[in-house]
Each structure stands twice: as C-alpha cells, then as structure tokens.
Chains A and B, each alone.
Chain A
Amino acid sequence: MQLIECPWCGPREEVEFHYGGQAHVPYPDAPAEVSDEEWAHYVFFRDNTKGRFAERWCHSAGCRRWFNAVRDTTTYRFERVQRLDDPEPHATEPARARRSTAS
C-alpha cells in the first residue's frame, strides 16, 4: 500500500486517492473550431510514458482536492506533488513537450 502525499492533508494510503490521468491536457478553447482529428486526440489520446509522467490525482476520500504530480511509471515513485493554485511555476510539466494535436 503506497503512500501518496496530498499537498493539503499529507501522506495517505493510495486507496484514498483517485487517478485523473495525464496532466496538462487542457480543454480546447473553441471545440467547435477544431477538426475531428484534433478533437479525437483531445478525447481519446494520451501519452503512455515510461518514466517520469505528469499526472493529475484527487484526494477523493479526504479533502477532495485535485493536484498535479510527477510520478515515475516504472518505480511508482512520486517525485513531486503540487497544488493547482501553487504560485510556483508548475514543475510538473513533462520533460518533453506534449504531442501537439494541431500538427
């Protein structure tokens, strides 16, 4: 049973958390204006990274806050967790740029 550090509540057992998939996949500004292909990328496509991966988590059995994390998908280690309102720049951006859906 892994411990996950909630940026608010501190370390809690992983069963208290809900996984929210890849972080930094914003809802398109104007969905009506993107192509079917671009929209499909937004809806269905996510990176499948081996190694450091920027993710969203929610402390669903606790304070119900969403937060960002960088986790190594090979070791499961959380390298960093960060509040959504953290004034610091989000160090949770993945090392390489996310595939552009517009390309």
Chain B
Amino acid sequence: MTSPFRTAEGGRIDRGTTLEFTFDGQTHTGHPGDTLASALLASGRHQVATSVKLGRPRGIAAAWAEDPGGLVQIEEPFPEPMLLATTVELHDGLVAHGLPGQGRLAEISDSARYDAVHHHVDVLVVGAGPAGLTAALTAARSGARVALVDEQSEAGGSLLGGTDRLDDAPALEWVAAAVAELAGHPEVLHLQRTTAFGSYDDGFVLALERRTDHLGTAAPRHVSRQRVWRLRARSVVVATGAHERPVVFADNDRPGTMLAGAARTFLHRYGVLPGRQAVVFTTNDSAYDAALDLHRAGVAVEAVVDARPAGSPRREECERAGIRVLSGAVVTATQGVERVTHALVAPFVDGQVGAGSAIACDLLLVSGGWNPAVHLFSQARGRLRYDEALGAFLPAEELDRLSVTGAAAGVLDLAGCLADGQRVARAALTALAVAPPGEDRLPTAPEPVVPAAPLVLWRVPDTSGADGNTSFVDLQRDATVADIARAVGAGLRSIEHIKRYTTIGTAHDQGKTSGVLASGITAELLGVPVQATGTTTFRPPYTPVAFAALAGRDRGRLFDPERVTSLHDWHVAAGAVFEDVGQWKRPRHYPRPGEDMETAVLRECAAARTGVGILDGSTLGKIDVQGPDAAVLLDRLYTNMMSSLKVGSVRYGVMCGVDGMVIDDGTVLRLAEDRFLLLTTTGGAAKVLDWMEEWAQTEWPDLRVHCTSVTEQWNTFPVVGPRSRDVIGALFPQVDVANEAFPFMTWRDTALDGVPVRLARISFSGELAFEVYVNPWYGVAVWERLLEAGRPYGITPYGTETMHVLRAEKGYPIIGQDTDGTVTPHDLGMAWAVSKKKPDFVGKRSFARQANQDPLRKQLVGLLPVDRRTVLPEGSQIVELHPDGQLPPPPVPMLGHVTSSYRSAELARPFALALVKGGRSRIGDTVHVPVNGTLVPAEVTGSVLVDPEGARRDG
C-alpha cells in the first residue's frame, strides 16, 4: 500500500530505505525512524483496534507511551501482546494486528536473551530533552560520572516534535552537538531507547533498555534483546518532560481524535500528516503551534476552538494564516463511526454550553494543558501539590538525592528548561561536593511570546444526551465521566477508592492521560478543591516491563544455582537419576538397564543390608569449631553434652530453637580438646552456621571460639553394610578395623597414597558402616579406589532414596521432613539425646512449658499398612474410626500425617513414619489413612522397624 499521508520531505526518517510490514493482514511500507503508529498514519489508518468492554473503534491518540488507544499484538518476529503502536519501532518484516484490549502470550518459549547490568554514577539524568541534556552536559563537564537515559530512539525530547531554534540554528543541531560532546566524556554513559521505569531508595533507578527490538529479525542472537539497568546514583535528576492532557467530551474516543502536540510530533519527526482537515480544540496556547504547523504543511485547519473567552495572543498569527479562531467555545462532541467526521462546536460562557454546530474534519486535535511527568519523583515518595494555574500536580518538596527539572517541574518554555536543567545539575553537583564546571554556556533561545494563562477544563458538560456515558476519561478501560459520577454517588470520596471502583488508571498506561482528569472531575463532582482529592499513588513500572526482562539471566539452568559435589560427573556417567535437595543435585538412585526406581531402590537397599553399598554424602554441612571454649558453645547449643566427648570419638547431637523445637541434627567429631567437626543436614548447613555465629557474636562474645564452614572441604562417603569392614580393611590395611580397635562412634586419621583420609564409624542405616572423609581434590580417585576394593563384595553405589529407606527403617528422622518446626526431641522419641546434667542449653527451658508436656502432642511412630501393599502417600492425613467402624461425622478429626513412606526390601512390605497425636500410646492400635478415596488401615508401631536391638551396627 502507498503512504498518501507522508509529507514530501522532512522528518527524522530515512526515506532512502523502505521497510515492509504487515498490519491486520495488510502489507504496508514505512521507513527507518518510523514507529508502527507513524507508518500506519502515513498510510491513512487511524483506527488500530476496538475497545476492551464496549467494542468501540479506537485509534492513535498520542505519539508515545501516553497513548491510550493504539494497542497492538506483535506476531513476528516473536509474539508479544499489549504493546503500543506508538512505541514499536518499525522494522522490516514486522507483523502485528490491533488488539481489542487483551492480547495473547507466546505459546513457544522466548529464545531471546535478557540481562541486567549494575552501574554506579554520581549523577543520573533521566530524559534527554532540553532540560535533561543541559543537566547531563553540566554534570559531565565537571568530570563526574554521569548516566543519561532516554526512552526515545534518539535524544532531543520535545525538540524532536517541533521547529525550535537555538543559537539561530535548528535546535536539533544543538542536540547533536550535545550528544557528541557527551560521547567524548569517558565517564558518561548515554543510553537511548532506555526507559527509567522505577525509582527506589538510595538513588536506585531501574531502567529498561530495548537493545535489539528495532532490528527485527536482524537482531543478533548473542546480544540481549532487553536489558534492565540497575542504576545507583548519588544524585538523580528527573527531566522526564510532561504529558499533554486531553479534555473530556462526548464521543472523545473516535479515531482521528488526537493530542495536539502528538500531531506536531507526527508531522515534524515522522513526516506524517495525521489528517487533511483539522479542528483544534484547546484551553492553552501550546496547541496554536500545532494549528499553524499543520496549516503550513497543507492541512486545512477549519478552526481553532479555544475555551478561553479572551482567547490567545496567538490568535492574530492564526488569522493572518487564514485560520478561524473561535474563542470562548468548546468541542462538545464528535460524529463519525470508525473515524471522526465532524466536531460539534458550541459557545462556552461561564461554564454553560450554548447551541452548537458541526464542523467537518478528519482530525480533531485536543489540548487541555500539560501534566508534568512526576512519576519517578512520586515513586521516590516525593509529595505533590496541585498547581491551580497549570491545572496539574507538581513536586512539592526537595528530595534528598533526587531533583526534578524542566517540564517535569512545570517549566514549559525552552529557555526556561535549559536554564533550569543547568541550575538543578549545578545544585546536585554542589551537594555531592563536586565542583560545577566553570565554562558552561547555555545556547540562546528566541524570546518566547508571553503566553496567556491556560484555562483548567477537565470536561465539557455533556449536551449529547448520553449523560456522560460516552465521555471517556480512561479509554483503555472504557471508563467514563458517568462511571466517576456513579462512584461518587455510591459514596466514594477517596481517589484511591474511585480508581478501584471505576478501574480508571489501572490499564497498561497506568493513567498517564486519565489520572489527573479523574482527580479533577472527582473534585468537581464532590465540590472540593483538586488538592484535596490529590492523585492516586504512582507505582513502578512507569511503562510495562516484560517478565522476561526482569528475570534476565536467571532462567533455565541459571534460574537457581545447581550445587554439585566433586563426584557429579562420575554420577552422571554412572547413569544416576538426580533429585533436588535444596540447591544440591544429588543422585536419587542408579538404575540399571530396565530398572524403574522401585526396583533399583530395592536392589540398592538389599546390597546395603546384606553386602556393601556406598553413598556420596558430601552435601552434608560441615562446620569446623575451634577455640578453648568450643566445647562450651556446643554444650549450650546442642541438647546433649558435647564437652564430655573424648578426642577421637563421635556423638550424635540435636539442636533446638529457644522454643524447644528441633532445628537440626547431626554428628559431632571431637578432633582435639579445642576442636570439633560438626556435621549438619544438607539443607541446614548455612542455617546452623548462622545460628552458631548469632549466639557466639551477639549473646556470648566472651567465648573464645571460632566457627568456619568446611562443607566443600570434605567429601563424605558412607561405606555401608556387613561387608564394609572388609572393604575399608582392604583399602586401608594400616588401619585396624576390628570392632575393638575401631569401635562404633569413633574416628581415625589415615592416608591413601599420601593423601590424608579420615575414617569414622558412623551409621545412618543401622548397619556396620564407615564414613570416609577426604579432600575433594582427590574425591573421585578415592571413590574409585573404594569401588575397586569393594568389587569382590559387590559394592553398590546407592542414592538418596535408598538412604531414606534405610534410615526410616531405623526410625531416624530427617529434620524438615519428619519434623516441621513444631516437634521437640521428646516428640521424636529422642529423650535420650537430651542432657539432664546440663543446667541449661538453648531450648531446655521451653521443654518445661505446659504445651510441651501435653500427652496428646504429636509423636513420631511407625505405620504398617495392614494390606502389606499400599505405600501411603507422604503428607496423607491419619484418622481414627469409631468403635463401630464408622468415620466420625465431618469435620473428621485428624490425628496427624504421614511424614515418610517407602517400600522396604528388608520388611518385604511398605512402611511409613508418621507424626500422630499421642502416638506412642497408640502403638498396637489401627488407624486409617485415606488414599485415593478409600481408607487404608495401618498398624501403629514403634518408629524403629529394623534391628531394634542395634545388633548390626558392629557387623
């Protein structure tokens, strides 16, 4: 298709290159420098979509992110919903269509890359318009570290959409020189296509850089598509400009209705005429520029409708050009279906609308004044004040580390913006104790015509008969003046409540055009000052940010760190199936060809119970505790006595919180009088070290003791089973492994080919077992030597599933699986691990609390399903039948739940551990567990189901 609305020349587009794109199935052309919106307008298309609730035609109403109308879905290069045609840069091969409110997420995974970068500066300037560029230049010239970010594809801000001149030359020449100068400062980071979308504590600003979107299918794959800049600034200068505000009237949503400044931007920046025949409706002087510029470009400007009775000093200029100016008049409504065909214009005297007439037009430009873009200031908790003259909210205070300049601070003329940008930057530098630059000349702007005061007009009284139901405040939400009236009528007073009742400001633009209108109209309806109504809270993000960009690099394999032991590659080669234990990847089992998990685990269990098995237990947390008071600290933190442990020996210990609940357990090796090695659970390693440091640093700083994490310093390989002594004896012939020489719960140091190795008689399975400790540098070598030494005995590597079965058969709890933070050592049947000799330890006092004496506390017991077949699902509830065999009426009392459940090779039946109310007093009873809709009877037993006498641990 052709571009009949493209001007013959001008604009910041590359006319030498033609881009082809598809919109709603039709092929169009445009040029580099276009947005999707400008290219559509060039082809004569205003309507982009229909509205979300009412299905009314909607079109392009603004030139950038404040546009409430032109919502599109991108299909190619990659599906992405809910973008604005005004912010999508055109590229070859773009395929898009208009969106009736809601879009569709891609059904394939996004292969583009996203990342984040931290960057630190002295001064961050947001916005590269006249005020921002001046501020950035001033800061850069001082030698400070500066970042300048701007959301557009090129610097210039409002200058891009106008014809301003500086130093007697086009202002954009000054922009180009400023950009070139900034590029020459080594400590300046200048980013275009970068939207600062959130302003947070301590000078922290998040900005989204669109790095390759404009390249379309030519985007390099190895460069991130979008980047979140995590900017930390000692001082932030907000130069984000202002958004033009519409005036609300009946049928103000028809395509062809557009903000006046946006029409100028389309003309000057993109070389596009947004229509042929225009009416301009304004309450202030700025729209006169649009009228005159469009007239000069060949648009028939039928009338300037100025709501102010006195009109504007620029009236004469218009009339010289042959443009009719109607002062003291308003547009009351529009006509047309998919495009405006007429504006209804009527006299407006003392707030009363007179009899009107229709003026034919295909373009209705509107200006109700300017709203400073105070979003970043407000997000940083800056207070706003309502300015009666501007009819807008302005920063009401100075913030530490954040200042606002230019149009964002209510300065609306070019010379004023330049001076203000410089002033604010110099003040920021001074506050940072950086000397502002000496040479810092501002370009000269022409003397502006002194403007007439704007009229604050939120809405035109509805004389259309629609009662405000077609007077749209928030076009994206189809929310109208009538909706606000209903909210006020329902008794709502707070603008926050009205926002939620009407949904105004909750769509993707978060109220850029509708927010202040809603405040003004609400104030009018309530008869209160606008200051009293205020604004809703500005929250990040300023413009929508894709989750993919926020996720950045943290996805796929990098989503959560995978921790592995030094044997990981060996496990992979051995065909291990892994399970996640916290961040660790641990082998769950090692299936042989044709084996499922159940078969593999039964085989691995049988090997450990009847022959010998080997486990990579290196993920266990390990803490080296040293110092003359090491034993004192351990006595205070473990429930049992550690000071009496002999050097060379090992003791199992339990740690509780001050509330008496178990937080971790493990074994303790006494290495020397002043030195212990603590083993913690895999998941508890960091927590236990933190716990020990907390007490040692904050409560008992007098103790001479130091704790150091050595989790990765030691591989731990339990060699388990009746033949483990043979294996250890064969590999370490210098060690006397006889029970008398090397008894249970002792350790010995030895070496293998000169590499130090520690052996410990510790068993987490009930079988004879030796744990082998070695520096992981040599982990694989020692593991392979153990396998070699065990080959005559059929040594079998086993995984965590078998480990769990073996320990559960012995009733050894896993803290965090069989406990949940409400379980005492006594509940676990571990009163034997609670010292009665020690006067105090953390948790002891709580054991005496009444709640912990309750005989109906949940206690750890075993469960044997009576059918000998069902593996009770972990987490299942446990119930008790009435003596007559019936379930009690609902709500059925719950006795507890299944915490661990496995199939046992040793018992030749499934079994479970469970926390059951008064569990130990129920041993021998039958309880019931609902499984898939049927009640499975299970016998309550003690928690130790295999070798309760402990006969096997010595072999």
Contact = CB atoms under 8 A, between A and B. Distances in A.
Asked if chains A and B are in direct contact (CB within 8 A), the reply is yes
Interface residues of A, number: 29
Given A20-B694, A66-B694, A31 B845 contact: yes
A39 B845 contact: yes
Contacts of B846: 39, 43
A76 B201 contact: yes
A32 B839 contact: yes
B339 to A, nearest CB: 47
Contacts of A11: 202
Contacts of B107: none
A61 to B, nearest CB: 11
B822 to A, nearest CB: 14
Interface in B672-702: 690, 693-694, 697-699, 701
Interface in A1-27: 1-3, 11, 18, 20, 26-27
Residue of A2, A20, A42, A43 contacting most chain B CB atoms (<10 Å): A43
A58 B686 CA distance: 13
Contacts, number: 59
B622 interface: no
A101 interface: no
Interface string A28-49: 1011101010011011100000
A1 B230 contact: yes
B204 A56 contact: no
B646 to A, nearest CB: 28
Interface in B186-243: 200-202, 204, 230, 232
B375 interface: no
B541 to A, nearest CB: 15
B201 A27 contact: no
A39 B849 contact: yes
Interface residues of B, number: 24
Contacts of B694: 20, 58, 66
B658 A64 contact: no
Given A1-B230, A3-B202, A66-B698, A32 B690 contact: no
Contacts of A18: 690
A60 interface: yes
Contacts of B202: 1-3, 11
Given A66-B694, A84-B701, A36 B230 contact: no
A85 interface: yes
Contacts of B201: 1-3, 76
B725 interface: no
B699 A26 contact: yes
B932 to A, nearest CB: 40
Contacts of A40: 849
B840 interface: yes
A85 to B, nearest CB: 7
Residue of B200, B698, B701, B848 contacting most chain A CB atoms (<10 Å): B698
A28 B230 CA distance: 45
B659 interface: yes
Nearest to B850: A36
B698 A84 contact: yes
Nearest to B202: A3
A73 B908 CA distance: 59
Contact of A42 (B200, B232, B658, B699): B658
Contacts of A84: 697-698, 701
A71 interface: no
B897 interface: no
Interface in B291-343: none
Contacts of B848: 36
B45 interface: no
A11 to B, nearest CB: 8
Interface in B836-889: 839-840, 844-846, 848-850
Nearest to B230: A1
A47 B503 CA distance: 38
Given A58-B694, A84-B701, 7 more contacts: A1-B201, A3-B204, A11-B202, A20-B698, A32-B845, A66-B697, A75-B381
16 contacts: A1-B200, A30-B840, A31-B845, A32-B839, A32-B845, A36-B849, A39-B845, A39-B849, A40-B849, A43-B846, A56-B698, A58-B690, A58-B693, A65-B697, A76-B201, A84-B698
